[in-house]
């Protein structure tokens, strides 16, 4: 299992329960991958002019490697796990 260290979670200030659920989904996606090197993760909130246009950006980092993806703020948690799995599988 790839160890995930959350260095930022901006969602926590807005919705602590959703922030915890998002972290759990990301950890479950990372559990599919065997990697001794820790994976840093940042969860960023990109506010749109209208609430419906706000996005959540997930950024994975390692020395020399950064990958990120964005999803609508009104996202399904399964979408987070699926997108994280795709990003990690293609590292």
Domain containing 58 — which CATH number? 3.30.160
pLDDT value at residue 72: 84
Q: Domains in the chain: how many in total?
A: 1
The three-class DSSP label of residue 65 is: strand
* Token digits of residue 53: 């246009």
Structural domain for 8, as ranges: 4-89
pTM over 0.85: no
Radius of gyration of the chain (CA): 13
Of 51, 78, 82, the residue nearest 69 (C-alpha): 82
User: Is 41 a residue whose pLDDT tops 90?
Assistant: yes
Digit-coded pLDDT (tens) for 50-72? 766 788 899 999 888 899 998 88
Write out the H or E segment, with its range, that includes residue 39.
Answer: strand 39-46
């Amino acid at each position: 299992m790839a160890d995930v260290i959350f260095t930022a979670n901006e969602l926590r200030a807005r919705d602590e329960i959703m922030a915890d659920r998002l972290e759990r989904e990301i950890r479950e996606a990372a559990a599919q991958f065997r990697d001794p090197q820790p994976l840093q993760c940042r969860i960023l909130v990109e506010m749109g002019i209208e609430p419906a246009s706000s996005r959540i950006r997930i950024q994975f980092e390692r020395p020399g490697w950064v990958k990120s993806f964005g999803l609508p703020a009104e996202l399904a948690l399964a979408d987070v796990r699926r997108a994280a799995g795709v990003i990690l599988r293609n590292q």
